[in-house]
Amino acid sequence: MSKIPFTKMHGAGNDYIYVNAMLHPVENPSEAAVRWSDRHKGIGADGLVLIDRSAIPEADFSMRIFNADGSEAMMCGNACRCIGKYLYEKGLTQATQIRLLTLSGVKTLSLDVADGRVERVTVDMGEPVFEDEALFLPDNARQLAGETLFVSMGNPHFVIFTDDVDQVSMKGLALEHHPAFPQRCNIEFARVDADGTIRTRVWERGSGITQACGTGACATAVAAAVTGRAGRQSQIVMDGGTLSVAWCETDRHVYLTGPAAFVFDGEIVP
């Protein structure tokens, strides 16, 4: 049986298994994501990312992302940054502006390159959305007390401002499956510190506690700005590292900047 080459990468500790599906298609990516993501019996990751050609002329490449539980995600900012680094450093493109097709639309990746290496990537995450009946049911959210805000960054996020960001391990799973969220939800627990940084921990839909979440960082920054806790530029400090988020006043787009890193290459039996 032929093996499938893969690359393990992470963005601020949010780690995924990346496969060049242009050369090595994965027949059942949902099942593969569950098996390969197992940290004891597999490669170990937050999920599986397939990099492929774009089916539309408005994008250069496409991304599909499957969480560790096999569910397909709509978007991932950390994975977008890693794909930018992968495509450039693996020689699949020489462009430093890459249009990436996701289930949440086309995202533009801007690569910061020095000596042939991608040091940082900025992702145009588009405009935040605060009302979406397909993702959030306000009538069912009345029991969700406290300082909270729903923000969609192409996928649903529920941001909770609290002094105890460690409660993510206790409440994340229950909130992910709360009736207020028809398609489940990513949950952020955030605290704005005296120096203006925002300490955030995240429970990702389909993966549980992760070291970082790019869309979650964006949702947290937007929520902090909307509620007057921060300005339009924030440093989001997550378990795996710090991400920079800017919410532009002119186009209302959110821009996510941060690192991406290779971990190792390998092969696995499909």
DSSP-based three-state secondary structure for 90: coil
How far apart are alpha carbons 97 and 120 in whole angstroms?
13
Rg (CA), the chain: 18
Q: Is 218 a catalytic residue?
A: no
Phi/psi for 245 (5° steps) reads: -130, 130
- Residue reference for tokens 């450093």: 89
3-state secondary structure of 201: strand
Q: What are the CA-CA distances from residue 162 to residues 31, 165, 191, 235 (Å)?
A: 36, 6, 6, 17
Task: Measure the CA–CA gap between 268 and 17, rounded to whole angstroms.
Answer: 11
Q: Give the active site residue among 76, 80, 82, 185.
A: 76
Phi, psi of 60 (to 5 degrees): -90, -40
Amino acid letter, 241: G
Q: Which of 80, 82, 185, 213 is flagged as catalytic?
A: 213
How many angstroms separate the most distant Cα atoms in the chain?
57
**Residues counted in the chain:** 270
Q: What's the angle, vertex CA 210, arms to CA 206 and CA 213, rounded to 5?
A: 90
Catalytic-residue membership of 76: yes
**What does DSSP say about strands 198-204 and 233-238: parallel, antiparallel, or unpaired?**
parallel
User: Which residues are annotated as catalytic?
Assistant: 76, 213
